[in-house]
Amino acid sequence: QSVLTQPPSVSGAPGQRVTISCTGTSSDIGAGYDVHWYQQLPGTAPKLLIYTNTNRPSGVPDRFSGSKSGTSASLAITGLQAEDEADYYCQSYDSSLSAVVFGGGTKLTVL
């Protein structure tokens, strides 16, 4: 069981907006640790999508955005495209475990 909780799956039609939540505790996100998001296409290594809660690495479209509040964070994807179909993971740090922690992952299906 993952320390950070994500919905197993979300879906949306092309052009729509979807959000993926990442819920933590007072030991991780709630303690002020940053949240990062990764996109993993089938059969490939993860790719950094959002870092430090809201920042996009160069080359990541502005259709992807991140936010954080309290013990949770969210990834929003607007203008859904077929190539967005992938698994998405949130990541933070847990001070009680002294460990980096990931969410269980969310599979995005573009209908």
Partner 1 sequence: QVQLVESGGGVVQPGRSLRLSCAASGFTFSSYGMHWVRQAPGKGLEWVARIWYDGSNENYVDSVKGRFTISRDNSKNTLYLQMNSLRAEDTAVYYCARDQGRSGYYPSNYWGQGNLVTVSS
For partner 1, the binding residues (CB under 8 A) are 2, 34, 36, 38, 40, 45-48, 51-52, 57, 87, 89, 91, 93, 97-105
Least CB distance from residue 79 to partner 1, whole Å? 24
- Is the CB of 29 or the CB of 101 nearer to partner 1? 101
Burial class of residue 47 in the structure, from the number of CB atoms within 10 Å of its CB (0-12 exposed, 13-18 middle, 19+ buried): middle
Nearest-angstrom CA–CA distance, 37 and 22: 10
| Min CB(17)–partner 1 separation in Å | 24
Q: How far is the CB of 45 from partner 1 (least distance, A)?
A: 4
Closest CB to partner 1 among residues 40, 78: 40
Residue 61 or 79 with smaller CB distance to partner 1: 61
Cβ atoms of residues 11 and 111 within 8 Å: yes
